[in-house]
Structure 1
Amino acid sequence: MADILVTGSAGFIGSHLAHRLLARGDRVIGLDNLNPYYDPTLKQARMARLEALPGYRHAKINLEDREAVAALFAETKPHGVVNLAAQAGVRYSLEHPAAYVDSNLTGFANILEGCRAAQPAHLVYASTSSVFGANGKLPFSVHDPVHHPITLYAATKLANESMAHSYAHLFGIPCTGLRFFTVYGPWGRPDMALFKFTDAILKDQPIDVYGEGRMQRDFTFVDDIVEGVLAALDRPAAVNPAWDPMAPDPATSGVAPWRILNIGNSHRVELMRYIQVLEEKLGRKAKLNLMPMQPGDVARTEADITDTRSALGYAPKVLVEEGVSRFVDWYLDYYKAG
């Protein structure tokens, strides 16, 4: 049994992770400010489910509130920290850059300072496949350089990886950054494609399909993401003794207990196939509004999870047919739709 601080605990991934931690006997300190980026009633419903369970306590704090975050670390002295709180959304960053600076940069700096003071056994934090940016080499490997992010959201996450390395080096805090690939599943975010597609199809409204439907994504079910996070949390990062400063590996470090891992399904699925699976589950055809690529979008993603399998024993299990079905079952029950 351990005290684990989970930031973003009322969020999509954070709420699933908190449930798994509680189920295995850990105590969870949840931090979330319930911001209105999307429907806060969904966040409140996730949080209500957690607060009904023994071992969970909630702190409604803004991540960028330095004094409040520091006080929480000082009071709770968590054994482990999982930072999932962030201003999410690629497209939103085009119009609201300050939100990303506040939450993803200032907020993450506050988490690092809290870890500096409390010295947890491990800090695990969410990065994103978006950091690969203009890189077209597939599958995306953590050993490839990522110097060309194409959105501010991705740039802030890339900055988080660098910030964590500096703190791991200077203060000995083991840090693992996890690059998530297109997460979906029950209790998901309303701004994401599967949620929007389901809502529109049930209302007999057209869905906007970007890239004329030719985009491919490494869709990763939330349960597989959570299993990866748990496995990482339980295996703190260490210095890589084979690291060569003359040929530095971007995924590990010879001077800090720090690493980067991909958490994905490792299979590309065409967007039109994703939509087809949804149509089959709903028993309805979608009205397609084919659109060009949007700024900040990439044509394809696919995770190379070789290192993740080796380091964590990570083995994603859920294919899109099962994952979409489980999402729709939750959606129809939660919204009493159909």
Structure 2
Amino acid sequence: MARILVTGGAGFIGAALSAALAARGDQVIAFDRSDSPALARNRACFPEITFRPGEITEWPHLAAAFLGHRPEAVVHCAAIVGVVAAQASPAATFRVNVEGALSVFAASRLFGARRVINLSTEEIYGPFQAPEIDETHPCAPVGAYGISKFAVEQLARDDVRRHGLPILHLRTCWVYGPGLPRPRVPKTLLDAALAGRPLHLAKGADFRVDHVYIDDLVAGLLCALDAPRPRFDAYHIASGAAPTLGEIVAIVRDLVPGAEISAGPGGYDFAPGVSVVQKGALAAGRARDDLGYAPRFDMRAGLAAWIAARHAGED
């Protein structure tokens, strides 16, 4: 049993991770600016989870949480997430994502944590130069979100060189599954199909990206926490495949008979005028060999699991 602090512990990923940690007997400190229904449900099931309110940009909040609980490991999930949100407020994005991460690293070091897991993103790469890339792909991020997350990785490496606290970066891709709050594919497609609403996307059917089911990401985070001697400081936690949006539409229509959903040809836009750069699949061989990570959900299996969770009232 370990004491583990999860920043962003009330969020989509943080709440799911907190439940998985508590289920195996760990003591979890879920640190976030406010509670959430998902975290409240998890706390009702697991007394091992403690909610600790606070802002990662406020040092007294962080210091009090670390001093009060003395976590042995930290999983840093808190961030302003996504290209559109970051583009809307670049200054706030850098304050939360960069300044906040530096404070988390400093608190981890000063209060005796033995390992930090930093949740990173494929956005640090910018446009993919191949259909499938590994962790050695050049980093040329585009926009405030990717640049801020790449800055965090680089500043963490400097921190490790100067102070020695192990900081691992888990780069994941488009995470989906029960609890996803953002109106993004495949959620928008599934929402429309299950509600019996027609939905036609004018473009995007040719766009490819690695979609990672939430249970696989959580499993990868647990692997990174438990790995005795990781050889690298960066690992992909992904499915290793990049279906097109058109293929995803076809899967949803097969899983939800009668669904009136479709997508026109071309690339995908996050929002009007905000196009997604070239993407693809993230090779996860390094995480498999070093961490023992093995994704269980391809796109069909993940969507089927999500639909089952909806029917069971878990989403």
TM-score, normalised with respect to structure 1:
0.85
Deviations 1:102-129 (A, max 9, x none): 2211211110111121131110010001
Question: 2: CA distance between counterparts of 1:284 and 1:261?
Answer: 40
- By how many angstroms is 1:50 displaced? 1.9
Report the equivalent of 1:39.
none
Report the equivalent of 2:190.
198
Deviations 1:68-125 (A, max 9, x none): 1122112211001000111112222222223311221121111011112113111001
- By how many angstroms is 1:236 displaced? 5.6
Change (3 A) 1:210 1:69: farther
Query: Comparing 293-302 with 311-320, which one deviates more in the overlay?
Result: 293-302
| Contact in 2 for aligned 1:128/1:180 (Cα 8 Å) | yes
Change (3 A) 1:170 1:236: farther
Report the equivalent of 2:260.
286
Report the equivalent of 1:15.
15
| Residue 216 of structure 1 pairs with residue 190 of structure 2 | no
DSSP 3-state at the match of 2:83: coil
| Residue 167 of structure 1 pairs with residue 159 of structure 2 | yes
| Contact in 2 for aligned 1:174/1:237 (Cα 8 Å) | no
| Residue 325 of structure 1 pairs with residue 304 of structure 2 | yes
| Residue 176 of structure 1 pairs with residue 168 of structure 2 | yes
Alignment partner of 1:186 out of 178, 181, 202: 178
Report the equivalent of 2:62.
69
Alignment partner of 1:262 out of 236, 246, 250: 236
Alignment partner of 2:284 out of 298, 305, 314: 305
Report the equivalent of 1:125.
118
Report the equivalent of 1:276.
250
Question: 2: CA distance between counterparts of 1:296 and 1:155?
Answer: 17
Report the equivalent of 1:246.
none
- By how many angstroms is 1:312 displaced? 0.6
Structure 1 segments, 4+ long, off by >4 Å, are none
Report the equivalent of 1:40.
none
Structure 2: which 5+ runs fail to align?
none
Letter in 2 for 1:270: T
Q: How does 1:95-106 map to 2 (within 5 A)?
A: 95-106=88-99
Letter in 2 for 1:185: G
Question: 2: CA distance between counterparts of 1:45 and 1:299?
Answer: 35
Deviations 1:117-163 (A, max 9, x none): 113111001000111112312322112221x1112111111111111
| Contact in 2 for aligned 1:12/1:187 (Cα 8 Å) | yes
Change (3 A) 1:183 1:216: same
Question: 2: CA distance between counterparts of 1:168 and 1:209?
Answer: 47
- By how many angstroms is 1:296 displaced? 4.9
| Residue 316 of structure 1 pairs with residue 295 of structure 2 | yes
Question: 1: CA distance between counterparts of 2:310 and 2:122?
Answer: 26
Deviations 1:229-281 (A, max 9, x none): 1111112666x6xxxxxxxxxxx4xxxxxx11111111121111112211222
DSSP 3-state at the match of 1:269: coil
In the alignment of these two chains, the number of paired residues is: 308
Question: 1: CA distance between counterparts of 2:104 and 2:202?
Answer: 37
Letter in 1 for 2:247: R
| Contact in 1 for aligned 2:198/2:259 (Cα 8 Å) | no
Change (3 A) 1:209 1:8: farther
Letter in 2 for 1:302: A
Question: 2: CA distance between counterparts of 1:275 and 1:186?
Answer: 18
| Residue 90 of structure 1 pairs with residue 69 of structure 2 | no
Report the RMSD for the aligned CA atoms in angstroms. 2.1
- By how many angstroms is 1:178 displaced? 0.4
Question: 1: CA distance between counterparts of 2:21 and 2:268?
Answer: 39
Aligned residues with identical type, % of pairs? 27
